[in-house]
Amino acid sequence: MTIVKRVKVRTRTLLIAGALVALVLAGVFSYYASQSPDGLEKVAADKGIDAKEKPHEMADGPLADYSVKGVHNERVSGGLAGVLGVAGTLLVGTGVFWVVKRRGAPKEPQADTA
C-alpha cells in the first residue's frame, strides 16, 4: 500500500508559478504560432465577405501582427509580443479581480455608541 503525502501549497505561490509558466510558454512558443488565417478569416475569404475589409486603426501599432515594432529578429520579436500580451492580460485580470473582491467584501457592522 502506498501512502501519498499531501503537500500544502499557498494560493499566492500557485498563482505566481502559473504566471511564470504562462510567460515562459508565451515567450518560447509565440514564434511557432501559425501564420495561416483562422477559421473565421478563411470562411470570410471563401465567401467574399472580406471584400469590404478596411485596415485596422492599430495595424501599425507597436504589437501589430504578433510582433514588436522595432525588433528586427523575428524570433525575439514574436516571443516578446507573446510575453507582453500575457503580462498585459495578467495585469488587467488581476486588476478586475481585485476591484470585484474589494467591492464585494461585506462591511462590518458598527457598534452603537449612543
8-46 residue pLDDT tens: 888 889 989 999 999 999 999 888 877 777 888 889 889
Residue scoring higher pLDDT (105 or 86): 86
pLDDT for 7 beyond 70: yes
Cβ neighbours around 77 below 10 Å, total: 20
The SS3 call for residue 75 is: helix
Nearest to 79 by CA among 6, 17, 10, 26: 26
Mean pLDDT of the chain: 85
pLDDT of residue 90: 93
Distance CA 87, CA 18 (A): 12
CA-CA distances (angstroms) from residue 100 to 15, 56, 103? 18, 32, 5
Domain ranges of the chain: 19-31+60-104
pTM metric for this prediction: 0.68
